[in-house]
Structure 1
Amino acid sequence: MVLLPNYHAAGPLAQALSAAAGLPALLLPQMTTLADWAQSIPLAVSVQSDTQRLLTLYQALRDRNWFPDADLWSLSRELLTLMDELTRHHVSLPESTEAFSRQLVAAYQAQSGVAMQFEARVVHELWYAMAAHDELDVTAAYQQRLAILAQQVTMPLFVLQTCDLDAPEMRFLAACRERVRVTVFDLRELLGMDAGCALLSAALQQELHGEDLRSAAQSRVAGVALTDRIGLFGAHGMEQEAQAADVQVRRWLLEGKTAIAVVVQDRMVARRLRALLERARVMVQDETGWTFATLSVSTVLMRWLEAVQGDFYYQDVLDLLKSPFLFAENQVLRKQAAYQFEQLVRRHGVVLHLNEHIAAAEREAPELVPALVRLRQAARLLTARHASLSGWLSALHQSLDLLGVIHGWRQDAAGQQLMQLLALWQEELQADTTSCSFSEWRRWLSQQLDLNTYRDLSVDSPVLFTHLAATRWRCFDAVLLLGCDAGHLPAPVNAGLWFNDAVRTTLGLPLSCVQQDQVRDDLLSLLAMNGTVLATWQANCNGEPNLLSPYFEMLRAMHLLAFGHDLMNVELGGLLPLAQVRIQDSDRKGLPRTTKVLHTKFLREGCRIQDPAKMPRPVVPPELIPQKISPSGYNSLVACPYQYFARHVLHLNELDDVREDLDKRDYGTWVHEVLQRFHAEIPQLGSRDKGEAERVLRRISDEVFANALAHDYLAQAWLLRWQGLIPAYLHWQLEIEADGWRYHAAEVPFEVAVSGNLLLRGRLDRVDVSVENADAFAVIDYKTQSIQGLKNKLKSPGEDVQLACYAHVQAAKTAAFVSLDDDTVQAVSPDEEIDELAQLTLARLGEIFAQIREGAGMPAHGTEKICAYCEMKGLCRLGEWEESQDRGLRIAALGVGGELNG
């Protein structure tokens, strides 16, 4: 019988045995892991699942109310781990809390206090409460199976190990030695006989032995350098580390390597690396898996529960409707519902309450009503105040079935596994009657999803994502260690909330550093058994220096002293700008889910050299050239051509944001409506009593703000702000009339031909007419901005085009912004002649669109102020261009190379 650390070692061991025998056929010995061997032993008593034990601990903590403000589910999980550890190491606690407290006092070497007595009481009382059950826990059952197995073993045992075994396994092997021959092959001892591993062993053991670095390097080097085996790469951030790993993996594939291991220390970098590899059509076989909490099959579940608990907050509902698992039997219905719901909430700002969503849909989008009613029917299944966890899970299944989610899960591998998990938990908890609220159950479910892992078994690829412990006794063609900084390798010790190392020593528990010792041993074995290894880390993280793992730092220092080389890979960094993958249009079909063979032709196409990334300069296809433009769109074009391209060609800002809180935009809208109604009722202020006019204006203001006040008390603040401006506005209006102007019209729509088929369209806030000349007009644009801000807009001629456009369409003699922001109301006009400025502004617009039709590029060169508030800066990726650009100029003419520039 051969006991393996994992089944991955079975294949290479079988090949090695066959090669050593030199026979065409060989009857192999039985190979298994100790855990699976023990599982084959039946027990006479039942075994309580960890799910049941966790709930028992939770109920005990909740009943005792020791931690009223704590997350009891996490605390229960921590205590469950402690209980298992006490069982695993055969720790017997004193029979009384007082005796246990004295033991803790001695171990802590401190005076007895309330906190220490409380710690002793919690652990002692819960330990005996859990021990009172007749059923065995999983750890105790495993130990009992090992004890039975040790009395039944009749064949010699051969054990492969890379690090020290846990106490139950050591006791098992000791019992087996009394009956049969037990041979242990410790990889650490075998590697110690290899001169090539001497420096590795010295480096990784150095911190423990405290030897002088130089003497260790000189005495243990044995004349074997590691430059051909191990390399280090320090990246300038997460993106560069992922890019370096992507390029190196593809280079290894081009070299013909068929077994490449990516040992993941940093999951964030691994996620980005996987995306880069799949973009190059290199599929990944993932042994580490992903927690269910990160998968879309769980996202639809948690979004559904968040929507129910949050009274159907619009964002939760929208996220839910965008999930392909909702209404899976009718995706057309779901997509239409998602689009219509988004339009509805953006137009009307209905933020909460499913019934209000349904009422709004009945008025304006009747096709949306059946989908929302279906949500309401499913939500009624989850309206109980308290239920058992099993009861909640049953209700959840019914609600998800009604929503079509179960149908969608059945078509998805991850969904199938999640359904199995939910059914298993419901079965395990069927007999438990502990009552939990909706929020308690939801927190439990969230923790369960975060602790269980999904592994995609359908991918067979030469590129394997794995973790360090899974590499024991395995050889690969090449190994990439990802995320080897000091924060990830070794990972921080999880000492837990209970007991320091002094107490653990007193109780007979292993010290917290044992975990790091295992990591060190696994790393040594991996480096020694594999001839091509690259370790990467972020030398700079978030603008701060980030230290390399102490293991590799020691190895680098010793190798530098011994051989004058620090193992740093200086070649890889220079390849990154030239190795960007570009998928051709003919390649943009869905990637295969299973990749068994990677052809050399494809790999070479995926790794072809590309030009460095440049600033985006999109050219608008003729069929997408806008035929209409507003003054605000013209302003966007002047500010940054790429911004205009993203906003008005790609329509990426087509929908307005849903404003949950009142802001200045709402204030401006209300003030515009107030003034429109006021001047329609009193066109000439001088003909009316000023006191009467003020009363009319205040009445209209109250009426306009009434709807907002009914929904949000904060509207009162905006109303008071406007009411404080009313006297100043009336005074300004009288001055305008005294200068010979009269109110003519408000909210005047316009549409004017510019050039070709381009139309300038929009709406004028207000038009005044001259008393002396009926053909002379003035255009006024209300702004809830400061006087200084408006002056800055007009400081550079042509930078802000709104007034010039308005003046052109109305043939106005004057145009002005009117500030309604400060304590005074004041008009701001351009210094230039408005008619001349209008002509130049419209002529420039026609010339720019002529250039766009000719194929001019639209680069991103907005000023820093423009970019700071631009919602498209993540799309153009400002700051990542390799060539410098002068972004302070305005659009004026066609530049070199056929591009719009300043």
Structure 2
Amino acid sequence: MNPIPQSNASTATVFFDSVARVILTQHSHEIPDLRRARVLLPNYHVSQPLAQSLARVANLPVILLPQMVTLNDWVQSVPLALSVIPDTCRITTLYQALRARRWFADADLWSITRELLILLDELTQNHVTLPQSAEDFLLQLEQAYQSKRGIAMQFEARVVYELWYAMNNSGELDTARAYQQSLAQLAQQAELPLYVLLTSDLAAAEVRFLEAYHKRASVMIIDLRELTSRQPECAAMRIIASSRPRFPDHIPTENERGVHDNLKEVVGNSRSQERVEEMDALSLREQANHLQKHFPHAALGHRLRFFGAHGLEQEARAAEVQIRRWLLAGKKNIAIVAQDRIVARRMRALLERAGVLVCDETGWKLSTLSVSTVLMRWLDALQSDFYYQDLLDLLKSPFIFADQAVCERKQTVYQLEQLVRRHGVVAHLDTFFDLTQGNVEMRMALIRLRQAAEVLHKKNDTLSGWLCALYSSLEILGIVQGLKMDDAGIQLLQALQNWQRELHVDTTRVSLTEWRHWLAQQLDEHTFLDITIDSPVLLTHLAATRWRSFDAVLMLGCDAAHLPGTDNSGRWFNDAVRITLGLPTREVYLAQQRDELLALLAMNDTVLVTWQASKSGEANLLSPCFEMLRALHELAYGDDLTIKPGEWDKLLESTQVRSAEFPLPPAAAMPAPVARQGLIPKRISASGYNSLVACPYQFYARHILHLNEMDEVREDVEKRDYGEWVHDILRRFHEQYQVLGNHLRADLDSALLRISVEIFAPAVQRDYLARAWLLRWQQAIPSYLDEQLKNEAEGWRYQSGEVPFELPLTADLLMHGRLDRVDVQAKGGSAVRVLDYKMMDAARLRNKLKEAGEDVQLACYAYVYEAEEAAFISIEKDKVIAVAPPQDVADLAQANIARLLEVFEQMRSGAALPAHGTAEACQYCEMRGLCRKSEWNER
């Protein structure tokens, strides 16, 4: 099965041969020397096929090619009398003007500045001249809007008018004016005949240039749209250029609504003859009849196919499989035209897993790269007073402290993270310093952070000043050295230095926050291209495909939301006003996209178009351009060009790439691994034993593979914090008052309240909500004292609290832990009772102890201390209750340890550790993602 039929014909060759014949005909008297002709190319990829066509059509062994150049490069060759002010300086000038006028007090001023600069450049590029007075401009807007002036319209007119004249009266040469001056000089120097290859309409500046050039030398425009009109193979495709899809801010007419709805039914449902005949607005039936009559052999099935995927993953996998099939078929030049970058990212990951690299022409915004992330994390840490997450993210970057050995740097960061999480430090560099006493490596890292922070510690500065300080801080942190070892990092450093140099004379002073917004915008505006990858697979965008042909083309993410795309530039005024002013409208932008799409399809003979036919269970429409083409093609040739999803299912499954180390998993079932001998632990705690009883697989993941989650820094007070504080309070209280009966009740109340306030004080100071937990504990104090006095009346005396222990059970197993409290009998002193404080309801604790051996904590403690009695002390609100096991404690302890030894012996003998935990054990288990109980439960 081959989802994409192959074609041996090359339509692109036909088009280039047509161009070659035009040039050779015009210069027939000069052949073979064509150097006195100049060809204006859309890109340099066109030069090679055009040169080949010139040689082939001329049928000569040697031919001297015409001058071939892109307009941008040609413009760059023109020397200018004045220097051009960089856009970085223009933006700061405009920003200063906006800030001084206080028009946008609470808005993102840098974003507004960028949008306004785009508008002002548009006015310049399209040779728009505003009226001489603001009132005349306002009248012009009123007429265009067809409404009376209001506050919003007056404000809009004032902003644009004032800033337009402020920027134009500066006398400086900006990029747009420099471009126009260069074009004017090129037109005045015109000598050679000029041949222009087009796929869509030119901008106003280029049209003026060609008109001026034509006054001195001949200009011939070779429009690909006209060439496609002469090719029978492109007959059906031309409907794309004539389509007018709807967009969100466009209110369709009744006819447009009817056509769109009918088209959805025809393409998406039965495509019945009756529904097709209703589409009279676009005359698809007439066009189909025309194709059948005049172009009966112009069907596109051999060169164009559509695939509607069920979700992102299937679209990415289908694209990856088709590219690998093309490569296996010997194709050397494959283009991926990505409309949806998210799908493209996933597809690229799948290709790289299969060993196929992708050369990316579109590039990546600097703001999305790790080299920029380390900058922003550094500034985040600085502004958040070294909030622990920002600090750890910064320290985990591979670019920081690059002047140290990698292993040392990683070890230092790991140790610091363990300390931070263990002690719950949230922020403040001084607190981290106190935490790292005695560790030289960690303290040196923190010292460097403090030195770098001092460089940026100022209220405001110029943009150049901030950039200089940033660079110095990056040098202190060793980040500059790390960036210099990365291609994207080198480009980032060059950009920072260029911006600093360009803004050296600018005096606009901004705060750290304002400068950060500016820096983020700059990083978002610049793109990194990785030129180190050489691959037959190319990721590009639609505008870059003008006049280009490939062995195969994959158009990715072509749903209605992505094609046609939206204009990314900031937009002021609606289309009616833009027409009045002489600015391009959105329809111009969309028409350009449609022309480029038609050119891509016409130039290439093997094209696969993919989109997600459903997203999250909801239907998702194909691009209206392609939707109309499919409907027309089905009416004319009985083929809607769509690959049925069922055709791909087996293909996708059989071609899935997996590493030999990670084969396809069996059908989902309860995992039951066997622990390797060297991994079986030699130490176990009561909580670890409880985990083993609750679910052997949980124990395997936690204590054999050590996949425990890292400690979390608790920024808000949680119940476990409350439990730790109560434990500490009771330890201190009983150490001071070992026999409560020897003291007055009022003194005991007062002492316990005082100790409680002291223990809670740091938390209350940090988080006001901790006061609620203090009040909750204070509510339980009377009941706790009553319970303790009752224990003393029964002869029990407090002996010790928070007692660590280690007890060898066998030569290969040791039990360890910490016991909350040990009591002894006052009379005789031989009887021992172990107690464990629990901040939970007594009924829940009784349920834990109802079945012998279900909860092993008290049994373990009783065995370690050879205790006759054991109990949980339930402390919940105003109730304090002792909950003891219903079984004999000594027998329970012996049976509990015997079972533990037996289980470990079985484990060493190769017994499996199945995931048979109860629902209660699974409810909060962090290993659910490993055992996947939900999947095998369903099966």
Q: TM-score range by the shorter chain?
A: 0.7 to 0.9
The one-letter code matched in structure 1 to 2:82 is V
Matched, 1:538 2:649: no
Kindly indicate whether the alpha-carbon contact (under 8 Å) linking 2:709 and 2:926 is maintained by their aligned counterparts in 1: no
Kindly indicate whether the alpha-carbon contact (under 8 Å) linking 1:2 and 1:32 is maintained by their aligned counterparts in 2: yes
Kindly indicate whether the alpha-carbon contact (under 8 Å) linking 1:203 and 1:558 is maintained by their aligned counterparts in 2: no
- Name the SS for the 1:234 alignment partner: strand
Deviation at 1:149, TM superposition (A): 0.8
The one-letter code matched in structure 1 to 2:441 is E
Query: Is the radius of gyration larger for structure 1 or structure 2?
Result: 2
Deviation at 1:154, TM superposition (A): 1.5
The one-letter code matched in structure 1 to 2:505 is A
- Structure 1 window deviating more from structure 2 (764-773 vs 568-577): it is 764-773
Matched, 1:328 2:402: yes
Query: Partner residue of 1:309?
Result: 383
Gaps of 5+ in 1: 586-607, 888-902
Return the alpha-carbon distance in structure 1 between the equivalents of residues 584 and 491 of structure 2: 35
The one-character-per-residue Cα deviations of 1:260-317 (angstroms, maximum 9, x if unpaired) are 2222222222222222222222222111111111112111211222222222222222
Query: Partner residue of 1:667?
Result: 722
Gaps of 5+ in 2: 1-37, 246-255, 257-280
Match of 1:409 among 459, 469, 483: 483
Kindly indicate whether the alpha-carbon contact (under 8 Å) linking 2:338 and 2:541 is maintained by their aligned counterparts in 1: yes
Deviation at 1:181, TM superposition (A): 2.7
Return the alpha-carbon distance in structure 2 between the equivalents of residues 204 and 841 of structure 1: 80
Query: Partner residue of 1:87?
Result: 124
Query: Partner residue of 2:648?
Result: 572
Return the alpha-carbon distance in structure 2 between the equivalents of residues 532 and 814 of structure 1: 82
Kindly indicate whether the alpha-carbon contact (under 8 Å) linking 2:184 and 2:209 is maintained by their aligned counterparts in 1: yes
Query: Partner residue of 2:502?
Result: 428
Return the alpha-carbon distance in structure 1 between the equivalents of residues 747 and 590 of structure 2: 83
Deviation at 1:157, TM superposition (A): 1.7
The one-character-per-residue Cα deviations of 1:470-502 (angstroms, maximum 9, x if unpaired) are 112222222222222222222234574520111
Deviation at 1:170, TM superposition (A): 1.7
Query: Partner residue of 1:512?
Result: 586
| 1:206-605 equivalence runs, <5 A | 206-207=243-244, 210-220=281-291, 222-223=295-296, 224-332=298-406, 333-361=408-436, 363-494=437-568, 496-542=570-616, 544-561=618-635, 562-565=637-640, 567-570=642-645, 571-584=647-660
Q: Measured at CA, do residues 853 and 273 of structure 1 come closer, stay the same or move farther in structure 2, by a change above 3 Å?
A: farther
The one-letter code matched in structure 2 to 1:102 is L
Kindly indicate whether the alpha-carbon contact (under 8 Å) linking 1:394 and 1:426 is maintained by their aligned counterparts in 2: yes
Return the alpha-carbon distance in structure 2 between the equivalents of residues 792 and 228 of structure 1: 72
- Structure 1 window deviating more from structure 2 (415-424 vs 10-19): it is 10-19
The one-character-per-residue Cα deviations of 1:206-226 (angstroms, maximum 9, x if unpaired) are 446941445544543644444
Query: Partner residue of 1:821?
Result: 876
The one-letter code matched in structure 1 to 2:425 is V
Return the alpha-carbon distance in structure 1 between the equivalents of residues 694 and 629 of structure 2: 53
The one-letter code matched in structure 2 to 1:280 is A
- Structure 1 window deviating more from structure 2 (799-808 vs 51-60): it is 799-808
Return the alpha-carbon distance in structure 2 between the equivalents of residues 3 and 441 of structure 1: 41
* TM-score, normalised by the number of residues in structure 1: 0.88
The one-letter code matched in structure 2 to 1:54 is I
Return the alpha-carbon distance in structure 2 between the equivalents of residues 48 and 495 of structure 1: 21
Q: Measured at CA, do residues 611 and 731 of structure 1 come closer, stay the same or move farther in structure 2, by a change above 3 Å?
A: closer
Query: Partner residue of 2:93?
Result: 56
Return the alpha-carbon distance in structure 2 between the equivalents of residues 235 and 832 of structure 1: 62
Return the alpha-carbon distance in structure 2 between the equivalents of residues 369 and 108 of structure 1: 65
Return the alpha-carbon distance in structure 2 between the equivalents of residues 311 and 476 of structure 1: 53
- Name the SS for the 2:235 alignment partner: helix
Return the alpha-carbon distance in structure 1 between the equivalents of residues 900 and 289 of structure 2: 75
Q: Measured at CA, do residues 31 and 203 of structure 1 come closer, stay the same or move farther in structure 2, by a change above 3 Å?
A: closer
Return the alpha-carbon distance in structure 2 between the equivalents of residues 312 and 581 of structure 1: 43
Return the alpha-carbon distance in structure 2 between the equivalents of residues 752 and 143 of structure 1: 87
Return the alpha-carbon distance in structure 1 between the equivalents of residues 233 and 895 of structure 2: 78
Q: Measured at CA, do residues 104 and 577 of structure 1 come closer, stay the same or move farther in structure 2, by a change above 3 Å?
A: same
- Structure 1 window deviating more from structure 2 (739-748 vs 691-700): it is 739-748
Q: Measured at CA, do residues 471 and 638 of structure 1 come closer, stay the same or move farther in structure 2, by a change above 3 Å?
A: farther
The one-letter code matched in structure 2 to 1:681 is Q
The one-letter code matched in structure 2 to 1:664 is K
Deviation at 1:417, TM superposition (A): 0.8
- Structure 1 window deviating more from structure 2 (451-460 vs 747-756): it is 747-756
Return the alpha-carbon distance in structure 2 between the equivalents of residues 233 and 862 of structure 1: 44
Return the alpha-carbon distance in structure 2 between the equivalents of residues 691 and 14 of structure 1: 103
The one-character-per-residue Cα deviations of 1:666-700 (angstroms, maximum 9, x if unpaired) are 11111011122223333444554433332232222
Kindly indicate whether the alpha-carbon contact (under 8 Å) linking 1:340 and 1:365 is maintained by their aligned counterparts in 2: no
- Name the SS for the 1:408 alignment partner: helix
- Name the SS for the 1:94 alignment partner: coil
Kindly indicate whether the alpha-carbon contact (under 8 Å) linking 2:776 and 2:877 is maintained by their aligned counterparts in 1: no
Return the alpha-carbon distance in structure 2 between the equivalents of residues 646 and 418 of structure 1: 43
| 1:743-822 equivalence runs, <5 A | 743-752=798-807, 757-769=812-824, 777-787=832-842, 790=845, 793=848, 800-812=855-867, 815-822=870-877
Return the alpha-carbon distance in structure 1 between the equivalents of residues 513 and 630 of structure 2: 51
Matched, 1:41 2:78: yes
Return the alpha-carbon distance in structure 2 between the equivalents of residues 857 and 154 of structure 1: 87
Kindly indicate whether the alpha-carbon contact (under 8 Å) linking 1:581 and 1:610 is maintained by their aligned counterparts in 2: no
The one-letter code matched in structure 2 to 1:202 is I
The one-character-per-residue Cα deviations of 1:850-890 (angstroms, maximum 9, x if unpaired) are 555455666667667666644455566776x6xx3379xxx
Q: Measured at CA, do residues 46 and 232 of structure 1 come closer, stay the same or move farther in structure 2, by a change above 3 Å?
A: same
Deviation at 1:627, TM superposition (A): 2.2
Return the alpha-carbon distance in structure 2 between the equivalents of residues 861 and 584 of structure 1: 30
Q: Percent identity?
A: 58
Return the alpha-carbon distance in structure 2 between the equivalents of residues 519 and 847 of structure 1: 74
CA RMSD for the aligned pairs? 3.1
Return the alpha-carbon distance in structure 2 between the equivalents of residues 816 and 539 of structure 1: 62
Return the alpha-carbon distance in structure 1 between the equivalents of residues 833 and 379 of structure 2: 57
Kindly indicate whether the alpha-carbon contact (under 8 Å) linking 2:199 and 2:223 is maintained by their aligned counterparts in 1: yes
Return the alpha-carbon distance in structure 1 between the equivalents of residues 672 and 59 of structure 2: 65
- Structure 1 window deviating more from structure 2 (405-414 vs 335-344): it is 335-344
Kindly indicate whether the alpha-carbon contact (under 8 Å) linking 1:388 and 1:435 is maintained by their aligned counterparts in 2: yes
Match of 2:211 among 168, 174, 178: 174
The one-letter code matched in structure 2 to 1:390 is S
Match of 1:628 among 683, 693, 697: 683
Match of 2:772 among 705, 717, 738: 717
Return the alpha-carbon distance in structure 2 between the equivalents of residues 847 and 165 of structure 1: 84
Deviation at 1:128, TM superposition (A): 0.3
The one-character-per-residue Cα deviations of 1:86-144 (angstroms, maximum 9, x if unpaired) are 11111111111111111111111111111111110000000000001112111111111
The one-letter code matched in structure 1 to 2:358 is V
| 1:195-214 equivalence runs, <5 A | 195-202=232-239, 205-207=242-244, 210-214=281-285
The one-character-per-residue Cα deviations of 1:385-429 (angstroms, maximum 9, x if unpaired) are 221111111122222122222222222111111111111111111
Return the alpha-carbon distance in structure 2 between the equivalents of residues 45 and 58 of structure 1: 24
The one-character-per-residue Cα deviations of 1:604-637 (angstroms, maximum 9, x if unpaired) are xxxx995678577665443333222323334444
Kindly indicate whether the alpha-carbon contact (under 8 Å) linking 1:280 and 1:581 is maintained by their aligned counterparts in 2: yes
- Name the SS for the 1:262 alignment partner: strand
- Structure 1 window deviating more from structure 2 (637-646 vs 111-120): it is 637-646
Deviation at 1:68, TM superposition (A): 0.6
Matched, 1:118 2:193: no
Return the alpha-carbon distance in structure 1 between the equivalents of residues 802 and 191 of structure 2: 96
Match of 1:191 among 222, 228, 252: 228
Deviation at 1:734, TM superposition (A): 4.1
Q: Tell me how many residue pairs correspond in the alignment.
A: 861
The one-letter code matched in structure 2 to 1:211 is L
The one-letter code matched in structure 2 to 1:824 is K
* TM-score, normalised by the number of residues in structure 2: 0.85
